[in-house]
Amino acid sequence: MGQFRQCPDSGFFFDKSADRLMKANAVAGIVALLIAGVLALGVILTRWQSIHLLPADTFYTVLTAHGINGLIFWIIFFEIAVLYFASSTLLRCRLAAPKWAWAGFGLMLSGAIMNNIAVLSGKSSVMMTSYVPMQAQPHFYLGLILFAVGALIACFVFFGTLVIAKDEKTYEGSVPLVTFGALTAAIIAVFTIASGAIVLIPTFLWSIGYIAHIDAAMYRVIWWAFGHSSQQINVAAHVSIWYLIIGVLFGARPMSEKVSRFAFLLYILFLQLAAAHHILTDPGLSSEWKIFNTSYAMYLAVLASLIHGLTVPGSMEVAQRSKGLTKGLFEWLRKAPWGNPVFSGFFISLVVFGFIGGITGVVMGTEQINLIIHNTIYVPAHFHATVVVGTSLTFMALTYLLIPVLFRRQTFLPRVAQWQPYVFSAGMVTLILFQLGAGTLGVSRRHWDMGFSGATLSFDYAGTAYMMMAVSGVGGVLAVLGGGMFIVVAVGSLIFGKKLEPSAGFLQSFALAPLAPEVYDIEQPEILKRAEKLPVEEHGSSGFHAPGTFVLAMILLVCFVVYYFINWDYLSSVWPMS
C-alpha cells in the first residue's frame, strides 16, 4: 500500500488524505450552492414585481441566506479543494497535517450550519453584510467566525504542503503557474480572514452584550476589507483555474511565465485595497483615501486582470496554432471543443467576467460615478457577472473535469452537462444586463417592493424599470434551471455515475463503508519535471504570437473606454453637488 494513486486518464497523482479532503470540501461546496440556488428562485420571483412571491420578512431571510451560501460557503469550500489540488496534486506531494485539514473542514462545516440555522430561523435577516447597529443573533457571527478559522487552517495546510514539497524535492525549479496563482489566492485569503476576525469578533461580543457600541462607519471600513478581499480570492483562484483548464485541454503553457506571475504579484500587492468600492459615498472618509483605494493604487490590479485577459486566451491560441489551427484570426477559437462543458464553461466565464464584470466593476468603483450607482440593483448585477458567471461557472467547469479525474466517475447525463454552461450563462447574462439597466434607472437593491406599498408618501419608478426587472426575472429563472442542471449532473455523477476503475471510493470521505477497495499503490511519485523547452516556432502573424486574442483584447478596451465615458456623461447630468 502506498500513499498515492495516479489518475490513469489525466496522469495527476492524488495523495490519499488530500484526495478525501478535496472530495469532502467540493461536496460541501456543492450542497451550499444547491441551497443558494433554491433560494435564488425566491429572490428573483419576488423582485419580479407582477409575481412578487414572498412576504417581506421571508424575502429578507431568503436574500440573506442566498448571499451567504452563494458568496461565502459554496465558493470558499470549493476554493479549499482547489488549494489542496494546486499544492498536493500538482506538486505530487503529500498533504501537510491532514488532521489539521480535517479539523479545519469540521470547523467550516459547523460554522456554515450554525450560520444557516441563525439565518433560516428568520431571526438574523441582516443581509450578508450585517451592518451594525442592526443586530443578528450571536450564533450568526459565531458561525462565520468558526467558518473563517477553519478556512484559515486550510490556508496554512496549503502553505505547509508547499514547504514539504520544496523540502522533499517533489518538483524541479519553480512551482507551476497554477500553484503560484493558488498561492496568490491563499495569501489574499489570510489578509481577508484577519480583517474578518478584526470586525466579526468584536461584533460577536457586542451581540452577547460584552461590548456596548460598535461604530457604524468603522464597521463598514473593516467589514469591506474582509468582504471585498474575499472576492479577490475568487479572482485569483478562478484565473488560476483558467490556466489549469487550458493546460489540460490544449496543453497550453503561459505565453510568458514572467508576465503571468507578475500579474499575480500585482494582485497580492494591490487587490485588497478595494474595500473602498463599497464606501465611496460614506461620510467621514476623504477623497484622497477613496481615490487611492478604490483604484487599487493606480488601477494596478485592474492592469493585472487586463494582462490575464490577454494571456489566458492568448496562451490557448498559441497552443492551438501550434497544432495547425492557423487559418485567419479565429480558427483556433472556432475549432475549440465547444461541446465540452469544461471548455465552454471556462470560456464563457472568461468573456463575461471581462466584458461585463470587469468593466462595470471599474466604472462603478470610480469615486464620483459611484454616486449614480451606489446600492442600486446595478451592484448585484455587477457581482453576478464576476462571482456567478466568473467564479462559479469556472468552478462548475472544473467540476466537470474533476468528476472523472478526482471522483473517478463517468459524467451522469453528459448531454445535460454539455448544455448546462450555455443555459446557465444565457440566464445569468439576461439577468445581469437587465438589472444593470434597472440600476441605471435607480431601482434599489435589497428591496422587497419597488411599488412602496404601505408608504405614507408615494413615488413611481419608470415603467421601463418594471419591465427590466421582469425580464431579469425570466433570466433568473433560466439561470436557476441551469444551476439545477449542474447540480443534477454533479450529484448524479457521484451517486449514479458509472465507476471508473480503479476507484478511491467517494463514500470513504465521510467514513462510510468503502464501495471498492482503495488503490493507493504508489509510495512516492516521480519528481515533477520542468516543462520541456519548446523549439522556437512562429505560428502567428506579423510578429504576434496570438493575433486573434490581441484583436479581442482591443475590442474589450474599446467597449471599456466607451462605456466608461458614457457614465461620466450621465453623471454630469445629475444635480450639482460639492
Q: For the CB of residue 309, give the shortest distance to another protein in the complex, in Å.
A: 9
Query: Which of 458, 463, 501, 526 contacts another protein by CB under 8 A?
Result: 458
**Contact stretch for another protein (CB under 8 A) within 55-63, 72-80, 336-344, 505-513:** 55-63
Closer residue to another protein in complex, CB, 204/448: 448
496 binds another protein (CB under 8 A): no
546 binds another protein (CB under 8 A): yes
Query: Which of 6, 103, 257, 404 contacts another protein by CB under 8 A?
Result: 257
Closer residue to another protein in complex, CB, 48/105: 48
Q: How far apart are CA 116 and CA 113, in angstroms?
A: 5
The 10 Å Cβ neighbour count of residue 130 is: 22
Cα 574 to Cα 197, 367, 487, distances in angstroms = 40, 15, 45
Per CB under 8 A, contacts with another protein among 56-85 are 56-57, 60
7 binds another protein (CB under 8 A): no
Q: For the CB of residue 128, give the shortest distance to another protein in the complex, in Å.
A: 10
Task: Please report where in the chains the cell 483615501 appears, as a residue.
Answer: 289
- Residue 84-103 contact track with another protein, rule CB under 8 A, x = bound: ------x-------------
535 binds another protein (CB under 8 A): no
By the 10 Å C-beta count (0-12 exposed, 13-18 middle, 19+ buried), 63 is classed as buried
Query: Which of 100, 156, 159, 299 contacts another protein by CB under 8 A?
Result: 299
**Contact stretch for another protein (CB under 8 A) within 16-24, 104-112, 509-517, 530-538:** 530-538
Report which of 179, 230, 201, 91 is spatially closest to residue 528, judged by C-alpha positions. 91
50 binds another protein (CB under 8 A): no
C-alpha of 92 from chain center: 25
Q: For the CB of residue 179, give the shortest distance to another protein in the complex, in Å.
A: 7
543 binds another protein (CB under 8 A): yes
Per CB under 8 A, contacts with another protein among 110-149 are 127, 131, 133-134
Q: How far apart are CA 3 and CA 519, in angstroms?
A: 9
3-state secondary structure of 444: strand
**Contact stretch for another protein (CB under 8 A) within 103-111, 297-305, 335-343, 517-525:** 297-305
Q: How far apart are CA 284 and CA 292, in angstroms?
A: 16
Query: Which of 53, 205, 441, 500 contacts another protein by CB under 8 A?
Result: 441
Contact partners, residue 8, CB within 8 Å, separation at least 6: none
Per CB under 8 A, contacts with another protein among 379-438 are none
Report yes or no: 263 and 307 within 8 Å, Cβ to Cβ: yes
Contact partners, residue 135, CB within 8 Å, separation at least 6: 126, 206, 207
Q: For the CB of residue 15, give the shortest distance to another protein in the complex, in Å.
A: 16
**Contact stretch for another protein (CB under 8 A) within 35-43, 193-201, 258-266, 336-344:** 258-266
371 binds another protein (CB under 8 A): yes
Cα 160 to Cα 34, 165, 193, distances in angstroms = 32, 9, 18
Strand partners, 499: 409
Strand partners, 409: 499
- Which residue stretches of 121-256 are H helix? 138-167, 177-207, 216-250
Q: How far apart are CA 39 and CA 66, in angstroms?
A: 5
453 binds another protein (CB under 8 A): yes
302 binds another protein (CB under 8 A): yes
Query: Which of 246, 359, 389, 469 contacts another protein by CB under 8 A?
Result: 246
Q: For the CB of residue 515, give the shortest distance to another protein in the complex, in Å.
A: 30
DSSP letter, residue 514: P
Strand partners, 13: 6
**Contact stretch for another protein (CB under 8 A) within 212-220, 336-344, 426-434, 502-510:** 212-220
Q: For the CB of residue 464, give the shortest distance to another protein in the complex, in Å.
A: 11
284 binds another protein (CB under 8 A): yes
DSSP letter, residue 410: P
Per CB under 8 A, contacts with another protein among 328-357 are none
Query: Which of 45, 97, 120, 372 contacts another protein by CB under 8 A?
Result: 372
Determine the size of the site formed for another protein (CB under 8 A): 116
Cα 359 to Cα 49, 243, 362, 429, 563, distances in angstroms = 28, 22, 5, 14, 8
462 binds another protein (CB under 8 A): yes
277 binds another protein (CB under 8 A): no
Identity at 364, one-letter amino acid code? M
Identity at 16, one-letter amino acid code? K
- Residue 154-173 contact track with another protein, rule CB under 8 A, x = bound: -----------------xxx
Contact partners, residue 573, CB within 8 Å, separation at least 6: none
Torsion of CA 259, 264, 268, 271, to 10 degrees: 100
